[in-house]
Amino acid sequence: MTATPTSTFHGPVAEHYARFRRGYPPVVVDELAAALDLDAGSRVLDVGCGTGQLTLPLAARTRAALGVDVEPDMLRLAHRAAADAGAGNVTWVLGADRDLGALAAFTGEDVFDAATIGQALHWMDVPDLFRRLALLVRPGGGVAVVTNGEPQWLLDVAWSRALRGHLERWLGRPLTARCGTDADSRRGYRDALVAAGFARVEERAVAYRDELTFAQLVGSVYSAMSPDSLPTGEARETFEHRLREALGPATTFTEDVRVSLLVGRS
Ligand SMILES: C[S@@+](CC[C@H](N)C(=O)[O-])C[C@H]1O[C@@H](n2cnc3c(N)ncnc32)[C@H](O)[C@@H]1O
């Protein structure tokens, strides 16, 4: 498969992603497995798998999972996470969404029971991807578009507003992108699922509360910045010192996370 890496998820950004980016708690994976009718015999494809946040918990409750990602550094760390977890039923493939047509040439059609895209669809050619998944996923199977909460600097709480202000001052530009979590994007994804033949569409959501330390919050922010804007050396100390000041004396930051699952079945 050919792949052109994005400009974002490599080097230290990938390391921060593996270490600090939140995964999906069991309650989310339960809901996803129920929506997709997954069981111990299922085979799942996870596109834009990153360092395995969704791939690994899915692999733990299915026969096999295939994680595809365009960034070699993310896949290297996914591979390591699988080894650490003792997951022997995952295959990692370097490739982009548009390469999935070539994958079908090797595996054949209808070989997956479900495909998932976790927090990655906004990087992809959505109608094309769903058409390719319609060949790979067996009739009756499903595709799930998963978003893992809103960007942490766009929440309606004081610490998030302070974080956003700090990041906008640092980057010198407004931060407005909602990374596929907004209603317009979701509507577009729904329409594209239907057009590709995944016409039985339902939306589910799982809400839970998370408590982040300052180190977790900073690490998570670094996992979302481009390597060019990631502060290094002394600049990192200044960045963190100013963020600490902007956030005030709190030592933990409460986040109400709403994971949304848009699921289409054929
Ligand atoms: C925000 S991360 C999501 C990782 C993981 N799925 C999760 O839920 O945390 C987005 C991932 O999509 C990958 N990606 C971006 N564009 C892609 C493309 N066109 N094809 C495949 N993967 C892509 C990136 O390399 C990155 O690992």
**106 CA to centre of ligand 1 in angstroms:** 22
On whether residue 88 sits in a domain, the answer given is yes
In a domain, 2, yes or no: no
Three-class secondary structure assignment of 210-232: EEEEHHHHHHHHHCCCCCCCCCC
Q: Atom 25 in ligand 1: which residue has the minimum CA distance?
A: 71
Atom of ligand 1 nearest to the CA of 99: 20
The CA angle 95-193-204, to the nearest 5 degrees, is 100
Q: Ligand 1, atom 27: nearest CA belongs to which residue?
A: 50
For residue 4, the model assigns a pLDDT of 59
Distance from C-alpha of 254 to C-alpha of 215, rounded to nearest angstrom: 14
In a domain, 24, yes or no: yes
Specify the pTM: 0.95
Give backbone dihedrals phi and psi of 71, rounded to 5 degrees, phi first. -105, 115
DSSP-derived letter for residue 41 is T
pLDDT at site 264: 98
Q: What is residue 19's three-state secondary structure?
A: helix
DSSP 145-196: EEEESS-GGGSSSHHHHHHHHHHHHHHTS-----TT-SHHHHHHHHHHHHHT
Token digits of residue 108: 């054949």
Q: Which residues form the pocket of ligand 1, taking CB atoms under 6 Å from any ligand atom?
A: 6, 9, 21, 47-50, 53-54, 69-71, 74, 96-97, 118-120, 123-124, 148
Structural domain contains residue 157: no
Nearest CA to ligand 1 atom 21: 96
Residue 28 falls inside a structural domain: yes
Q: pLDDT per position in the chain (266 positions), as tens?
A: 445 556 689 999 999 999 999 999 999 999 999 999 999 999 999 999 999 999 999 999 999 999 999 999 999 999 999 999 999 999 999 999 999 988 888 899 999 999 999 999 999 999 999 999 999 999 999 999 999 998 999 999 999 999 999 999 999 999 888 777 788 999 999 999 999 999 999 999 999 999 999 999 999 999 998 888 889 889 999 999 999 999 999 999 999 999 999 999 99
In a domain, 260, yes or no: yes
Ligand 1 center from residue 23 Cα (angstroms): 13
Contact predicate 261/203, CB 8 Å: yes
Residue type, 253: F
Give the chain's domain count: 1
Look at residue 158 in the predicted model and tell me its pLDDT. Answer: 96
Range of the domain at 49: 12-151+178-209+255-265
What CATH number does the domain containing 198 carry?
A: 3.40.50.150
Q: How far apart are CA 47 and CA 185, in angstroms?
A: 18
Task: Please report whether residue 102 resides in a domain.
Answer: yes
What spacing in Å lies between the alpha carbon of 185 and ligand 1's midpoint?
17
DSSP lists the bridge partners of residue 163 as none
Q: What angle do CA 210, 216, 220 make, to 5 degrees?
A: 95
The phi and psi torsions of 111 (rounded to 5 degrees) equal -95, -15
- Within-domain flag for 229: no
Single-letter code of the amino acid located at 179: C
| 49 CA closest ligand 1 atom index | 6
Ligand 1 nearest-atom number relative to CA 69 = 22
Which amino acid residue places its CA nearest to atom 4 of ligand 1?
50
Torsion of CA 229, 230, 233, 238, to 10 degrees: 80
Q: What is the 3-state secondary structure (H, E, C) of 93-145?
A: EECCHHHHHHHHHHHCCCCEEEEEEECCHHHCCHHHHHHHHHHHEEEEEEEEE
What atom in ligand 1 is closest to the CA of residue 50?
27
Span from the CA of 121 to the centroid of ligand 1 (angstroms): 8
